[in-house]
């Protein structure tokens, strides 16, 4: 959630309120930005495919593989648009200059199934050289996502969608990826080495466009002083309290700040969220907010009485409200760009997709084993691990 901070920070015309309250319209900026980003990416893919197909620098085999990989990226973005909006333009040619017509979701779905099946085995295999590219693993993962969600999208599929989803997942699981023994490997400073990553966005801390700025989006304006960093954070997004509480069995502190957690909690809690007090790394003084409150990140996000806006329950919250994201490690001396990569697809996702497809096909036994495999590696102390007895759609 992106709450409005006291004084109006992050209100931004109410666009984040609209998202949180599901009251968005076609004019909501974030929604328009998402449409533009996806459309632009598809156009870039079409232009790249056109150039590759007309290239004289590549052998036929090289060209076939390169084109398949870019077609895979294009299919991913078309999948995103279809998932978000349903009926969308289906533009697959760089040379087509006509205003595109809107295609129904069923037609787009059919095209995606055919397209991904056609390119899958022509995409490159996973290796250190193809990391970050759309590989065979990415293709079959995307195919599994399409099949798993067919029922939710209310589209028809010629075969057994759940059975074919399981088959696609099994292909990926046989390609040499592993569940990293330490789940945090997928989010640390060198997460490009993760053998769980299937399809990744590659970032660099030398990125002059500063595209990966998670620390700025989530941390308080003064939090850089707690770790000798040079970023100037924006105090934006924080976690939904209900989500954080899923990681905690009880709170020690009545105000739910959980400053000194002694109770049993999910071991991923403090590797996922930044909660509690922040101190100056040099002086050890507790940092202060703009209202001279101690900077103690709370779990709860409470609206200040009397600040409600536009006739809605949405209002301002204090600067320190909300657990902050620290799932991706922050590098010492961090400035304006994070070098952690972002894994769009990884093997744990494939395990859980297979589990869901099995559950929806009536096979809870095998699904339970898959869910427990993913859960078990999250526990540093195996004595704390308690396997689930039966997988359900809720705990998957």
Would you kindly state where each structural domain of the chain is located, as residue ranges? 9-175
Residue 35 CA to residue 29 CA, distance in Å, equals 10
Asked if 271 contacts 231 with a C-beta cutoff of 8 angstroms, the reply is no
Helix, coil or strand: residue 103: strand
pLDDT at 346: 98
pLDDT digits (tens, 9 = 90+) for 65-101: 999 999 999 999 999 999 999 999 999 999 988 899 9
Going by DSSP bridges, is the β-strand pair 4-5/316-317 parallel, antiparallel, or unpaired?
parallel
Given 2.40.30.170, 1.25.40.390, 3.30.460.80, 1.10.260.40, which CATH number is that of 9-175? 1.25.40.390
Quote the CA–CA distance of 37 and 153 in Å, as a whole number: 22
Integer Cα distance of 52 and 46 in angstroms: 10
> What pLDDT does 262 receive?
43
Which among 201, 231, 226 has a CA at the least distance from the CA of 77? Answer: 201
What Å distances lie between residue 389 and 264, 314, 352, 377, 392, CA to CA? 20, 40, 16, 17, 10
Q: What pLDDT, on a 0 to 100 scale, did the predictor assign at position 252?
A: 40
137: nearest Cα among 116, 153, 120, 154: 120
> What is the reported pLDDT for 249?
60
Residue that has been written with the tokens 């209002």 in this structure: 315
Percentages (nearest 5) of helix, strand, coil residues in the chain: 40, 10, 50
Q: Are 144 and 352 in contact (CB under 8 A)?
A: no
One digit per residue, the tens of pLDDT, for the chain of length 396 reads 999 999 999 999 999 999 999 999 989 999 999 999 999 999 999 999 999 999 999 999 999 999 999 999 999 999 999 999 999 999 999 998 889 999 999 999 999 999 999 999 999 999 999 999 999 999 999 999 999 999 999 999 999 999 999 999 999 999 999 999 999 999 999 999 999 999 999 999 888 776 899 999 999 999 999 998 989 899 999 999 999 998 886 434 444 454 444 445 677 899 999 999 999 999 999 999 999 999 999 999 999 999 999 899 999 999 999 999 999 999 998 988 899 999 999 999 999 999 999 999 999 999 999 999 999 988 877 777 889 999 999 999
- pLDDT confidence of residue 175: 98
CA distance 272 to 100: 43
Token digits of residue 42: 């598809």
Total-model pTM: 0.93
What residue spans of 102-255 are helical by DSSP H? 105-119, 136-148, 150-153, 161-173, 214-218, 241-245
């Amino acid at each position: 959630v992106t709450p409005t901070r006291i004084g109006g920070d992050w209100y931004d015309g109410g666009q984040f309120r609209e998202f949180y309250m599901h009251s968005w319209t076609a004019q909501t900026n974030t929604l328009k930005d998402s449409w533009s980003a996806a459309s632009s990416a598809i156009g870039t893919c079409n232009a790249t495919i056109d150039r590759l197909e007309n290239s004289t620098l590549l052998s036929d085999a090289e060209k076939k593989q390169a084109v398949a990989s870019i077609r895979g990226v294009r299919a991913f973005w078309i999948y995103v648009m279809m998932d978000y909006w349903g009926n969308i333009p289906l533009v697959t040619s760089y040379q087509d200059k006509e205003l595109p017509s809107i295609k129904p979701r069923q037609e787009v779905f059919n095209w995606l199934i055919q397209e991904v099946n056609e390119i899958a085995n022509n995409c490159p295999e996973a290796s250190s050289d193809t990391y970050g590219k759309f590989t065979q693993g990415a293709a079959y993962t995307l195919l599994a996502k399409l099949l798993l969600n067919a029922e939710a999208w209310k589209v028809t599929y010629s075969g057994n969608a759940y059975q074919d989803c399981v088959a696609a997942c099994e292909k990926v699981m046989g390609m040499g990826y592993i569940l990293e023994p330490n789940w945090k490997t997928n989010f640390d400073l060198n997460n490009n080495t993760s053998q769980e990553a299937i399809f990744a966005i590659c970032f660099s801390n030398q990125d002059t466009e500063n595209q990966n700025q998670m620390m700025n989006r989530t941390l308080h304006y003064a939090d850089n002083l707690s770790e000798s960093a040079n970023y100037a954070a924006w105090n934006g997004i924080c976690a939904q309290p209900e989500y954080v509480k899923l990681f905690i069995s009880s709170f020690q502190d009545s105000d739910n700040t959980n400053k000194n957690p002694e109770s049993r909690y999910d071991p991923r809690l403090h590797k996922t969220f930044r909660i509690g007090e922040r101190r100056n790394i040099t002086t050890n003084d507790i940092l202060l907010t703009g209202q001279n409150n101690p900077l103690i990140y709370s779990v709860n996000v409470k609206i200040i009485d009397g600040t409600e806006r536009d006739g809605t329950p949405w209002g301002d919250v204090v600067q320190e409200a909300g657990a902050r994201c620290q799932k991706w490690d922050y590098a010492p001396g961090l400035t304006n760009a994070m070098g952690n990569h972002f894994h769009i697809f990884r093997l744990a996702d494939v395990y859980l997709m297979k589990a869901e497809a099995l559950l929806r096909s009536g096979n809870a036994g095998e699904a339970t084993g898959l869910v427990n495999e993913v859960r078990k590696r999250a526990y540093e102390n195996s004595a704390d691990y308690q396997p689930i007895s039966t997988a359900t759609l809720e705990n998957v």
